[in-house]
Structure 1
Amino acid sequence: MIITINEDLRAYIDPLTEDEYAALERSLLSEGCRDALVLWGDLLVDGHNRYGICQKHGLPFNTVQNQAFQSMDDVHLWMIDNHLGRRSVSDFQRGVLALRKKEIVSARVAQQSPAASAGDAVYAQAEQESVKESPLSREAVARAARMSSATLGQIEKIQKTAAPELVTAIKSGAISINAAAAVASLPSEKQVAAVAGGKKELRQVARQVREARLPQKPKVELATPPDGASAEQVEIYRLNVLLAAVTEERDLLKKKVQNLTIALAEVRSEQ
């Protein structure tokens, strides 16, 4: 049997970690390769790790042809949907995959012709069904990735502006998506420096970015009492000054609570 490996296709989904690969290898050695490798012709679509391990140890395996594929976009969409359904995929990975799906479907919609020839009827129908099943709104894409639209927006921002080192830190769990989105707004060299400083430095930088974004309320200028002001006017002025100071202190505490709440959520998500 001839099986062709396409390196771009193999790299389309993030590779397993060393621990995940070792666990898969132990499973195949003890239980055999129970799931069939998915092929499109002689091209391997799903099961690259299983195929490599089976080849290494001389383990038998089965294959199955997916007859629904009409193009490489079909292959990519199938791979994305297949991995979105897996529990082991991280939130960041799910978001990246969902955004890839949105990009593919958007391109299909843009290229879709109003009518198809008889020879293209089957392909056109499959394409239309794909579009119907994958609405293009961010909310629908976020639901497919099982996350909020805000989180998906943060992942989209990270993809556009994050340095490679910051992306690696996200994948390793050194920083949350929320914090990474804040750090990604900095120049690349500052992102790299923050990553080099470790988890504590990343959190500190993210907190500083958030604090800098918070709008500053203009200070209220209180008119001083006029000469010869009554005791009542002076007391009112004193109370207004005190109220302004207490209000400013309250706003500062609210900012601290917001940042601490975010930091606590990030710590809990890493445990």
Structure 2
Amino acid sequence: MDIVVNEELKAYIDPLTPDEYEALERSLLAEGCRDALVLWGDVLVDGHNRYGICRKHGLPFQTVQNTRFQSIEDVHLWMIDQHLGRRSVSDFQRGVLALRKREIVASRRERAKAAPAEDAGAAPPEAAAPLPKNESLDSREALARAARLKSSQVVMIEKIQQSAAPEVVAAVKSGEITLSAAAAVASLPVEEQTAAAAAGKDELKQAAKRVREGKRKPARESSEEAGSAESAVPPGEDEVAALRKRVRELEAENAALRKQVLTLLGKPGQSAAPASAPGEDADAPF
């Protein structure tokens, strides 16, 4: 059988790094190709690197047909699930694959809703195979579970996918910068992202630091403004009522003290003179 290499399928998953490719080549030369290549008809689905290396060195290999594929979407979903389960796939790659899976699953759901009710009992000519794990991925929590990531990581990967310049994406794929740094840089204009990437990974890290510091400064200023505004707000009705009550209590205490003073002086019924203010003559007569 002539095996057909579909370039779209070959590029659907990120290629191996040069080091990973060399390690795979050494393994195949030492141990042979132990895992069968997966085919859909005559189209190669899984094993593009092994196929290329085996042809290069004339190594024998086995093939196996996956008879459950009924559409290219089935192939994509299977490829995604295979790579999501591999430990060698980076966090960023797993997040991207989970986002691709969400798009496929959502597209299938929309097509199913749009199908005419009268045709519900008849299977379409290219009905999707009932592949496992095609659960809803609408929430970030579901995406995080599918990709074995944290929800915060999924948020960062979405931002990178949507806003990052290709050079920044390449940097996070290669491990030059972290997910959080790439997501921070992705908030800059594309021209600034490209310039930072051209200057190297250290400049990318510095750019991410500047973005984070710029976000923290307005947050501190807002907090200070909120504190000032609170201090400037006049007391509410409950506070005013409490203050009036305290004034009445103090007035009653003062009246009681005046009575006690008059009693001690032997002048019942007379009002006591006001107490001397600080700095007045303490010996002044009543």
TM-score bucket of the superposed structures, by smaller chain:
0.7 to 0.9
Secondary structure at the aligned position of 1:93 is classed as: helix
Q: Confirm whether residue 199 of structure 1 aligns to residue 198 of structure 2.
A: no
Q: Confirm whether residue 126 of structure 1 aligns to residue 130 of structure 2.
A: yes
Corresponding residue of 2:179: 177
What is the CA–CA distance in structure 2 between the aligned matches of 1:40 and 1:149, rounded to whole Å? Answer: 35
Distance 1:21 1:124, change over 3 A: closer
Secondary structure at the aligned position of 1:38 is classed as: strand
Cα RMSD (Å): 2.1
Corresponding residue of 1:245: none
What is the CA–CA distance in structure 2 between the aligned matches of 1:30 and 1:110, rounded to whole Å? Answer: 49
What is the CA–CA distance in structure 2 between the aligned matches of 1:121 and 1:134, rounded to whole Å? Answer: 24
Contact 1:179–1:206 (CA<8 Å) still a contact in 2?
Answer: yes
Corresponding residue of 2:64: 64
What is the CA–CA distance in structure 2 between the aligned matches of 1:183 and 1:76, rounded to whole Å? Answer: 30
**Deviation (angstroms), 1:195:** 1.4
What is the CA–CA distance in structure 1 between the aligned matches of 2:91 and 2:123, rounded to whole Å? Answer: 41
Q: Confirm whether residue 147 of structure 1 aligns to residue 149 of structure 2.
A: yes
Q: What residue ranges of structure 2 are gaps of 5+ in the alignment?
A: 233-286
Give the TM-score of the pair, scaled to structure 2: 0.72
Which moved further from structure 2: 8-17 or 141-150?
141-150
What is the CA–CA distance in structure 2 between the aligned matches of 1:122 and 1:202, rounded to whole Å? Answer: 47
Q: Confirm whether residue 24 of structure 1 aligns to residue 24 of structure 2.
A: yes
**Which one has the bigger helix percentage?**
1
What is the CA–CA distance in structure 2 between the aligned matches of 1:208 and 1:68, rounded to whole Å? Answer: 51
Contact 1:165–1:195 (CA<8 Å) still a contact in 2?
Answer: yes
Corresponding residue of 2:275: none
Corresponding residue of 1:47: 47
Q: After TM superposition, list the pairs within 5 Å mapping 1:201-240 onto structure 2.
A: 201-214=203-216, 215=219, 216=221, 217-219=223-225, 220=228
Secondary structure at the aligned position of 2:16 is classed as: coil
Contact 1:95–1:145 (CA<8 Å) still a contact in 2?
Answer: yes
Corresponding residue of 1:116: 120
What is the CA–CA distance in structure 1 between the aligned matches of 2:43 and 2:57, rounded to whole Å? Answer: 21
Corresponding residue of 2:158: 156
What is the CA–CA distance in structure 2 between the aligned matches of 1:124 and 1:204, rounded to whole Å? Answer: 48
Q: After TM superposition, list the pairs within 5 Å mapping 1:6-25 onto structure 2.
A: 6-25=6-25
Corresponding residue of 1:90: 90
Contact 1:77–1:101 (CA<8 Å) still a contact in 2?
Answer: yes
Percent identity over the alignment is 65
Contact 2:68–2:129 (CA<8 Å) still a contact in 1?
Answer: no
For the pair shown, the structure with the greater C-alpha radius of gyration is 2
Distance 1:190 1:124, change over 3 A: closer
**Deviation (angstroms), 1:199:** 2.6
**Deviation (angstroms), 1:117:** 4.0
**Deviation (angstroms), 1:211:** 1.6
Letter of the aligned partner of 1:81 in structure 2? D
Contact 1:175–1:199 (CA<8 Å) still a contact in 2?
Answer: yes
**Stretches of 4+ moved more than 6 A in 1?**
none
What is the total number of aligned residue pairs between the two structures? Answer: 221
